[in-house]
Amino acid sequence: MLRLLPLLATAAAVWPAPKSISLSGASVKVQPGGAAFFKLNGTSPLLEAAFERYAGLVFPHRAASDGAALASLAVRVADVAERAPQLGDDESYALSIGATAATLEAATVWGALRGLETFSQLVSFDFDAGSYEAAAGAVEDAPRFPHRGLMIDTGRHFQPLASIFEVVDALPYAKINVLHWHVVDAQSFPFESTSMPELWRGAFSPRERYTQADVADVVERARLRGVRVIPEFDMPGHADSWCVGRPDLCPSETCASPLDVSKAATFDAISGLLDELAGGLFPDGFVHLGGDEVNTACWESTPSVAAWLKARNLTADGGYAHFVKTVADLAIAKKRRPVQWSEVWDHFKTDLPKDVVVHVWKSVTNVADVVAAGYDVIRNVGYDATSWYQTRSRTSFERRLSRLYRYLDNLNVNSSAVYGNEPCDGIPADLCAAHVLGGHGEM
């Protein structure tokens, strides 16, 4: 992926803004040296691969050998152990660029990756002189939130592997550390399931699918960049595509979604799918189970499901509660924390297992109540929507809309207002620090 170096490296060039940055105003001549420019105090295949990548990103142009003072970056990492990244990993680092030496210190390989990105942003190429220079100074940095994500949706819009790889490659440029992969939706089921091979008959076409080897490649590419991959299999709604290969999981041929809450086979199938996800394919500690926009009309209009609900003295909403709590418990039993959209909280509040992470995308969800009840939150929504339609100004409406959502397909939204969204709005500082894990940009 093409990435341009800054014309002049300044504090503003470091993105996102670090915890602390102090630049002297001086610049240091840099002599590029390929991957060998980076000197590690140990052995790490992950960082050695990162040095190869960053050599190309930092030094894309040929430069004359002119005896520049800075010929290497010393990378000192306390713990070079490698594994899959997880929530709460230490991503802190300290970077110092002086007249004759530069050092990057980090507790973990993940912090070293973030520091390499910052170093790359502080190096610029002087086209007139044909040489590189770096801004002298020091950066100390650690993320404010441990969970910083971007969602891609391959269930509604198939994306070739090459496209997903490009997204993964770009995430570290903004120190984003989560790829939220909304794998399937009502429109298609492109994922290869070994426990239910019939399911990917619901793909857009036989060629618009992902094998498990494809998935493993995405996850490994992300790991090498310090990016967690969280899969989402939305249920019980948004599940029409499941019915193409497994019609028995759906209420009827004419009323496909939500998935059939009345059948043990439905939960057996979900349990088998979760076994695949948690069995090594997705090593992250989270699994997203959706739960949003559930229209229970199919349950009420399908005699067998309606009879099942009646026999248990359940309303359709009670069936919805049974479903989302059952699948959350299945995930927890497989040592995965379930993430569910805000409607699940809005309906069932503290009936949910405390391990559930509430993913808030709706302004009607009272985030302060969620965190006060002790639940962790991923937040995509900020300001209250009650005054949307009280404004007569289109500009004001767009500003309010952009504050409300980080949905990247809202192309009419001004990005500056989106970036101004504050995840702790309306939440006491201590509860925000304890329970707001971070947020996402959603596509």
pLDDT tens for 86-96 read 999 999 999 99
Alpha carbon 214 to chain centroid distance? 18
The pLDDT value given to residue 381 = 64
The pLDDT value given to residue 441 = 84
**3-class SS letters over 69-132:** CECCEEEEEEECCCCCCCCCCCCCEEEEECCCCEEEEEEEHHHHHHHHHHHHHCEEEECCCCEE
The pLDDT value given to residue 67 = 72
- DSSP class of 281: I
Q: For helices 316-333 and 264-276, what crossing angle results, to 10°? A: 30
| Bridge pairing between strands 178-184 and 123-126 | unpaired
CB 109 within 8 A of CB 80: yes
| Bridge pairing between strands 131-141 and 123-126 | antiparallel
CA–CA distance, 150 with 152 (Å, rounded to integer): 7
Cα angle, residue 334 at apex, residues 442 and 148 outer, rounded to 5°: 25
- DSSP class of 279: I
Residue whose tokens read 């426990």: 195
Phi-psi region of 252 (alpha: psi -120 to 50; beta: other; left: phi over 0): beta
Residue whose tokens read 């620090």: 433
CA atoms within 13 A on the CB side of 99: 2
Cis ω for the linkage preceding 258 (within 30 of 0):
yes
Residue 168, SS3 per DSSP: helix
Cα of first residue to Cα of last residue in the chain, in angstroms, is 20
Residue 101 φ/ψ, nearest 5 degrees: -150, 150
Phi-psi region of 190 (alpha: psi -120 to 50; beta: other; left: phi over 0): alpha
- The CB density around residue 12, as the number of other CB atoms within 10 Å, is 11
CA–CA distance, 114 with 172 (Å, rounded to integer): 7
CB 235 within 8 A of CB 344: no
Residue 352 exposed, middle or buried by CB count within 10 Å (0-12, 13-18, 19+): buried
| Bridge pairing between strands 20-30 and 131-141 | antiparallel
CA–CA distance, 239 with 176 (Å, rounded to integer): 29
Residue 308, SS3 per DSSP: helix
User: Mind telling me the catalytic residues?
Assistant: 293
Q: Please enumerate in sequence order all residues whose Cβ is within 8 A of that of 151, keeping only pairs 6 or more positions apart, or say none.
A: 180, 181, 182, 232, 440, 441, 442, 443
Q: Please enumerate in sequence order all residues whose Cβ is within 8 A of that of 162, keeping only pairs 6 or more positions apart, or say none.
A: none
Position 113, amino acid: L
The candidate with the shortest Cα–Cα distance to 298, out of 239, 347, 232, 349, is 239
The pLDDT value given to residue 400 = 37
The pLDDT value given to residue 389 = 28
| Bridge pairing between strands 178-184 and 228-233 | parallel
Low-confidence residues in the chain, pLDDT < 70: 1-9, 65, 381-410, 417
